[in-house]
Amino acid sequence: MNRVRRKVLSLAIGVAAWPLGPHVVRADTLPSRPVHIVVGFPPGGVADIYARLIAPPLQQRLGQSVVIDDRPGAGGNLGTETVAKARPDGTTLNLVGPNNAINASLYKNLPFDFVRDIAMVAGIVQSPLLMVVNPQVPAKSAAELIAYAKANPGKINMASVGNGTTPHLAGELFMMMAGVTMTHVPYRGADALDDLVAGRMQLMFANVGISSGFIRDGRLRALAVTSLHASPVFPAVPPLASVVSGYDVTAWFGLGAPKATPTETIAALNKAVNASLAEPALANRIRETGAEPMIMSPSELDAFVAAETRKWAKAVKFSGAKVD
């Protein structure tokens, strides 16, 4: 487990240690049994960690146990399928994220339709990626990187943590919108960043928390942040949208429920999640990971996810990415 993951996991354990306080919300619309948050990725990963950050304060407000149920497989699809088929009573939730928006077009013949079968409940966190390069790359800005890439088509090796992942498709979206060609090299996990630091790769779209230490000690250079606004962690790094108009990519996580879940139950769950995220203790822990609390109504999150799904469909088509 790398040092960033250890740090984030320690934060999650700290939240889990909070005692149950007097903040329990009682309402007929809230679940009357323990709530399971189904995570479609292995324990100890980023998705699992954010689920464990929200669980203890949410448990306080619901007055029910909140259990993390890790069901990894097929890029998160196995977990989503489980929730899509679950009883729609608010006791089975899905940790949703960009993988769901991407998988809607990346995978063929899924046994569920994410937009049709999962109702959005609440956001949890949102974080930009950073466009980072090995210091041997001569570009000192995104504009210089684009010029360098156009003068050397295909010679920049872009690492990612796997085909169809957010860092991969963030790069594909950049190539599509900037009109440049780079060579994508998929890895499995942390090896991608290790090879970038070692100079075997030239560029990567990387998580803020994971790459921040390498940037601060000069082993990587951050050229741009992928969100429309600067990251609080690196406020001097400009948005990529200042050079590539309209470019906007964030990593995010939220909660979804089976589509037939009553709107009153979804509204009550949303209220409980948003109240948890507004607590300074949890908000500060989230910010320590390089992310920000993502407070949204169900309708706002629904519109956000629909836009994400459309955006990633274009990137998947452009990249020709396929998953067997």
62 and 7 co-located in one domain: yes
In a domain, 72, yes or no: yes
Residue 324 lies in a domain: no
In a domain, 214, yes or no: yes
Is the residue at 259 inside a domain?
A: yes
Q: Is residue 238 part of a domain?
A: yes
Residues 312-320, mean pLDDT to the nearest whole number: 93
- Interval 233-291: pLDDT, tens: 999 999 999 999 999 999 999 999 999 999 999 999 999 999 999 999 999 999 988 89
Q: Please count the structural domains in the chain.
A: 2
21 and 119 inside one domain: yes
pLDDT of amino acid 17: 46
- Residue 7: inside a domain: yes
CATH assignment of the domain containing 155 = 3.40.190.10
Domain end (from 242, 271, 304): 242
Instruction: For residues 133 and 121, state if they share a domain.
Output: no
- 65 and 161, same domain (yes or no): no
pTM for this model (two decimals):
0.85
Question: Coil, strand or helix: which one is 144?
Answer: helix
Domain boundary among 212, 242, 272: 242
- Quickly list DSSP for 79-142: HHHHHHTS-SSSSEEEEE-HHHHHHHHHSSS-SS-HHHHEEEEEEEEEEEEEEEE-TTS--SSH
End residue of a domain, out of 242, 271, 299 = 242
Range of the domain at 211: 129-242
Q: What is the pLDDT of residues 193-227, one digit of tens each?
A: 999 999 999 999 998 988 999 999 999 999 999 99
Could you tell me if 232 and 264 lie in one domain?
A: no
Q: How distant, in Å, are the alpha carbons of 47, 48, 264 from that of 12?
A: 12, 10, 29
> Is residue 94 situated within a structural domain?
yes
